[in-house]
Amino acid sequence: MTIARLLLTLVCFLIFSTQATSQLLNDRFTFDEDLEYSDDIQSPAEFLGYEPGEAYSHHYQLGAYLKHLAESSDRVELVTYGQTYEGRDLWLAIITSEENQSNLEDIRQNNLRLADMDLSESEASGLIENSPAIVWLSYGVHGNEASSAEAAIQAAYRMAAAEDNETSRFRDEAVTIIDPLLNPDGRDRYVTWYKSSRAHMLNTDPVDLEHDEIWPGGRTNHYWFDLNRDWVWLVHPESRGRIAEYQKWMPQVHLDLHEQGFNSNYFTMPGTTPRNEQLPDAYEDWADRFGRGAIEEFDKHQINYATREAFDFFYPGYGSSYPSLMGGIGMLAEQGGHSRGGRAVETEDGYVLTLQQRIFDHYKNSISTVRTAVDNRTELLSYFRETLNPENSKVETEAYILPNNPYDLTYDVIDIMLKQGVEVEQATEDFSLRDATDYREGVSERRSFSEGDFIIRKNQTNHLFVTTLFEPKMAFGDSVMYDMSVWSIPMAYNLDAYYVNDDPSVETSLLTEQPQRDSGVMNASATYAFVIDWNQPNAPKALAELWREDYRVRAAEKEFTIGGRTFSRGTLIVLGGRNYKKRNSMARDMQELAEYAGVMIHGLDTGRMDEGMDLGSRSGMVLHQPKTAMLIDRPFSSYTAGQIWFQFDRNVEYGISRIRSWRLGSVDLSEYDVIILPDMWGSGNFGDSEIETLKQWVRQGGTLVAAEGAAFAMASESMEFVSVGMTGDEENEDDEVEETLPPFTPYDARSDSAGLRNIPGAAFRSHLDTTHPLAFGVKEEIFSLTYNTDQFVPSDDYSVVGYYDDNPSDLLASGYASQENLEQAAGNVFAGVVSMGSGQVVLLSDNTQYRMFWRGPERLMINAVMLVPSM
Ligand SMILES: [Zn+2]
């Protein structure tokens, strides 16, 4: 410990009230202060002016400290890899020896070359012998799990400044990449709230205001998304920036540091089932080895922990699972504490858990992870090379074929693949393949494909990533999961895709640039009308802009054909005669609109169509711009609310008001045409008067869009909002369940048995009535992502728009659902519209844009807001 540091500690003790400080700081949890440290580098406490655990650091303070490290040490390089929505920088601190730093680019390139299968064995073993291991430590993806970023700067200080032999060896034999804070916006939301709520007298009562975070909490990012579900889909700038760096480095070891409830002891590796069966068997041993490395430290310091009983690594979008698909050992750490942890909190057994200890535990695990990596360096590098070798794949499929379709979300999937370092080929000739199996029906037959279609082969470095995402079904031995059970990309994005077990022989070129959808105006000088086919992914964005520009717009309720081209239902029609005052600017406006929204616009010189409705027909539904509100805050899910907000705010670029649920009684609802209720828990805390107000508003012409739990609440007996039958009402489910379960469930099997009755997210083959405006622009067949064991029963009392396949044995496309659940769901309804007075209630009981990657059904929500109110 330096003199300055000693003095500082002393001053801290004098300034802070002894009562508070003595509970906060305990010399049981020190940060290797007995080691020698470089005099040129300040510790976090010296630099920031408070001891670890005394206060939370804001994002800017963490950044300032890392800059100090980079400026005062040749062992540290600080990389800024992006910016959040709220303008905060995202950083990596790359820490290694001075010598390694001077060869960093070579080290990086050599690490990537390790995965090159053309490398000779002797070259490979030379690289393995001489290369450092790449160890990546990620902190704070959940902003209110706030000890981890504090641990990041402690670990960075030790790795950069400690002069002992062991730390020197860490620097020589590893490049340690520290991402101190994956979710700066969420963390600063938490820290700002915490600081504004904290009392002078330390209060460890977990229900005190200081421990009771406000909605929506700091876990999520600006749009209320869980960034620890976004490693694959890259919806957000935090993920996109990080993965670009990750793909450059491809680490052998990745540890993702989190927090869980404050009564839980530390979770360290390995976790529980189910597991991704495609991973090498050796992964399990590695997870165990790293876990035992941490345990050695924890035993020594009497830190309590548990392994194997929680947390699976099945879903590929976690920071603990994605790295394993990229050839590394992906791992999770969960410290007790979380949102309620504060600076200190009393656990159920009367122990005072301090922030200082939470930082200490994570710090110890961070350092021990580097130690285990360095101790096993050559073996880890060999594992990395073996794992990325496609010859070691356990999957039979050789390739996945995506027909080149700019009118669905194929290009969005290609975009993800390119950003994830996947090699995508494009056919340079027409071709046909034997035994090509489609995802919709699972039928294998000879099929023809076209020049320009996309091919993703298994035979590439990222084969584990590709097969995990494209296989129609993932094997799992255990269906009680921590998260969802299905993510097959062609189903999520509702593509007409195929897979084959023979490597396709066809001439191809490697795709190097993201394909762009055509945009522009055909026949821009037209005077009668301009039309925009609603089946284009960006058509809603064009409609929002037309409304902003004060255009009168209609939507075709029927198809029409002219000059051999057929326009689908929902196609937007801008009639020249109805927008006569725009006649001088219309051609230019359409050009700008096509470019802004990324759509094709067709100018037509006549309203007489060859087939189908004429442009001036009564089947042209006049579209009124709906003023739209979404209720948020309890009891609504911030996740679904965030998705819907993101969809309109970022994709459609159509502003909606977000109104806190408890304001409902005081807001003038007549101002709004559409009110969205996101998923909610239970039937909420609506009183009779709020329900009556909403009912009145619907009867007078409002469109209420109720999603997931809110849809069921609308039909519940307690709310009696709409009268739509539910499966739960009809039959006594308990009788059915009893037939297949023992007469009672043993105490220790109860949580598993409950798990088997749930649906942990399953893809159901489903049908849409695409003649209804709610389903305009969508394919007739989709994969609906369901978590519901109850459904709506079809009847003529309302418009049934989306329903599950009626054959229970065909219903499950992927994921897990029990036989009873399949039989109950078959033929029942997840999307419908109920008329009520002059208004209507749209029921969408399955999520329509889950995590913004299950996007196949997303148009249902968009149509509910943009088209249905004008019906
Ligand atoms: Zn977490």
How does pLDDT run across 803-834, given as a tens digit for each residue?
999 999 999 999 889 999 999 999 999 999 99
Instruction: Please give the distance, rounded to the nearest whole angstrom, from the Cα atom of residue 462 to the centre of ligand 1.
Output: 26
Decide if pLDDT at 8 tops 80: no
Q: Which tokens is 644 given?
A: 């819907």
Instruction: Please give the distance, rounded to the nearest whole angstrom, from the Cα atom of residue 137 to the centre of ligand 1.
Output: 14
Instruction: Please give the distance, rounded to the nearest whole angstrom, from the Cα atom of residue 241 to the centre of ligand 1.
Output: 20
User: Helix, strand, or coil here: 420?
Assistant: coil
Question: What are the beta bridge partners of residue 449?
Answer: 431
Q: What is the pLDDT of residues 414-446, one digit of tens each?
A: 999 999 999 999 999 999 999 999 999 999 999
Rounded CA-CA distance 746/753 in Å is 9
Instruction: Please give the distance, rounded to the nearest whole angstrom, from the Cα atom of residue 714 to the centre of ligand 1.
Output: 33
Decide if pLDDT at 737 tops 50: no
Higher pLDDT, 524 or 732: 524
Q: Percent of the chain having pLDDT more than 70?
A: 93
Residues 574, 579, 584: CA angle, nearest 5 degrees: 105
Rounded CA-CA distance 800/829 in Å is 7
Whether 766 contacts 811, CB under 8 Å: no
How many beta carbons lie within 10 A of that of residue 511, not counting itself? 18
Instruction: Please give the distance, rounded to the nearest whole angstrom, from the Cα atom of residue 800 to the centre of ligand 1.
Output: 39
- Mean pLDDT rounded to a whole number for the chain: 93
How confident is the model at residue 476, as a pLDDT? 63
Instruction: Please give the distance, rounded to the nearest whole angstrom, from the Cα atom of residue 180 to the centre of ligand 1.
Output: 14
Q: What is the pLDDT of residues 539-554, one digit of tens each?
A: 999 999 999 999 999 9
Rounded CA-CA distance 602/749 in Å is 62
User: Helix, strand, or coil here: 702?
Assistant: coil
Instruction: Please give the distance, rounded to the nearest whole angstrom, from the Cα atom of residue 145 to the centre of ligand 1.
Output: 6
**Average pLDDT rounded to a whole number, residues 207-235:** 96
Instruction: Please give the distance, rounded to the nearest whole angstrom, from the Cα atom of residue 432 to the centre of ligand 1.
Output: 47
Rounded CA-CA distance 115/417 in Å is 18
**Average pLDDT rounded to a whole number, residues 28-53:** 97
Instruction: Please give the distance, rounded to the nearest whole angstrom, from the Cα atom of residue 82 to the centre of ligand 1.
Output: 21
Instruction: Please give the distance, rounded to the nearest whole angstrom, from the Cα atom of residue 260 to the centre of ligand 1.
Output: 7
Instruction: Please give the distance, rounded to the nearest whole angstrom, from the Cα atom of residue 141 to the centre of ligand 1.
Output: 7
Residues whose Cβ atom is located within 5 A of ion ligand 1: 142, 145, 258
Q: Choose among 148, 476, 147, 480: nearest CA to 309.
A: 480
- Chain-centroid distance of CA 361 in Å reads 28
Instruction: Please give the distance, rounded to the nearest whole angstrom, from the Cα atom of residue 335 to the centre of ligand 1.
Output: 9
Q: Which tokens is 74 given?
A: 């040749």
Instruction: Please give the distance, rounded to the nearest whole angstrom, from the Cα atom of residue 258 to the centre of ligand 1.
Output: 4
Decide if pLDDT at 312 tops 90: no
One-letter amino acid for residue 631 of the chain: L
**Average pLDDT rounded to a whole number, residues 650-662:** 96
Instruction: Please give the distance, rounded to the nearest whole angstrom, from the Cα atom of residue 333 to the centre of ligand 1.
Output: 9
**Average pLDDT rounded to a whole number, residues 653-670:** 94
> Beta strand 89-95 with 76-83: parallel, antiparallel or unpaired?
antiparallel
Higher pLDDT, 750 or 172: 172
**Average pLDDT rounded to a whole number, residues 754-783:** 92
Whether 262 contacts 206, CB under 8 Å: yes
Instruction: Please give the distance, rounded to the nearest whole angstrom, from the Cα atom of residue 630 to the centre of ligand 1.
Output: 27
How confident is the model at residue 20, as a pLDDT? 59
Instruction: Please give the distance, rounded to the nearest whole angstrom, from the Cα atom of residue 314 to the centre of ligand 1.
Output: 16
Residues 414, 419, 420: CA angle, nearest 5 degrees: 95
Instruction: Please give the distance, rounded to the nearest whole angstrom, from the Cα atom of residue 261 to the centre of ligand 1.
Output: 10
How confident is the model at residue 719, as a pLDDT? 87
How many beta carbons lie within 10 A of that of residue 320, not counting itself? 26
Instruction: Please give the distance, rounded to the nearest whole angstrom, from the Cα atom of residue 313 to the centre of ligand 1.
Output: 13
How confident is the model at residue 755, as a pLDDT? 65
**Average pLDDT rounded to a whole number, residues 676-691:** 84
Instruction: Please give the distance, rounded to the nearest whole angstrom, from the Cα atom of residue 142 to the centre of ligand 1.
Output: 5
How confident is the model at residue 728, as a pLDDT? 76
**Average pLDDT rounded to a whole number, residues 7-19:** 48
Q: Percent of the chain having pLDDT more than 90?
A: 87
Q: What is the pLDDT of residues 109-148, one digit of tens each?
A: 999 999 999 999 999 999 999 999 999 999 999 999 999 9
Higher pLDDT, 496 or 9: 496
Place of tokens 């495609």: 278
Q: What is the band of 212 on the pLDDT scale with cuts at 50, 70, 90?
A: very high
Instruction: Please give the distance, rounded to the nearest whole angstrom, from the Cα atom of residue 251 to the centre of ligand 1.
Output: 21
Instruction: Please give the distance, rounded to the nearest whole angstrom, from the Cα atom of residue 186 to the centre of ligand 1.
Output: 12
Supply φ then ψ for residue 12, to 5 degrees: -60, -40
Instruction: Please give the distance, rounded to the nearest whole angstrom, from the Cα atom of residue 323 to the centre of ligand 1.
Output: 16
Instruction: Please give the distance, rounded to the nearest whole angstrom, from the Cα atom of residue 645 to the centre of ligand 1.
Output: 23
Instruction: Please give the distance, rounded to the nearest whole angstrom, from the Cα atom of residue 811 to the centre of ligand 1.
Output: 34
Instruction: Please give the distance, rounded to the nearest whole angstrom, from the Cα atom of residue 268 to the centre of ligand 1.
Output: 13
Q: What is the pLDDT of residues 57-80, one digit of tens each?
A: 999 999 999 999 999 999 999 999
Q: Choose among 663, 649, 640: nearest CA to 709.
A: 640
Decide if pLDDT at 732 tops 50: no
Supply φ then ψ for residue 141, to 5 degrees: -65, -30
